[in-house]
Copies of this chain bind each other. A is one copy, B any other.
């Protein structure tokens, strides 16, 4: 039995996670300042506080309440969270086909030569990995 994994963050929660991923642990005040800057309008302080409290219950963040101003930090990793959200999105929007998603992302969009080169490099890596399987794969958990 393992503990329930953190649920999919909502849009607001994701926005806060971005701040925490980018700037590291922060107080409600600091997070709220970042959010207000990102958006058009000012964000209510207690709104940010409330969301953080809910995120704490959900296990999306942890907090250090040693000081009066509690310090929050992300409890989920950026890549894992993005991967989770991506899975749901691919299922809902592209019927589970990651290929369609990639085609759409690259096709109907301005992509720089540099970015294309990066993708090519990634494709090469993947194909090498596929054609020369690691004989020690059995050891992996």
Contact = CB atoms under 8 A, between A and B. Distances in A.
A79 B106 contact: no
B18 A95 contact: yes
Interface string A118-141: 111011001100100000000000
A102 interface: yes
**Copies of this protein chain in the complex:** 2
A119 B98 contact: no
A54 interface: no
Interface of A is mostly: helix
Interface in A5-29: 11, 14-15, 18
A94 interface: yes
A79 B14 CA distance: 26
10 contacts: A15-B92, A82-B94, A86-B93, A89-B89, A99-B111, A99-B118, A102-B105, A103-B122, A113-B127, A113-B130
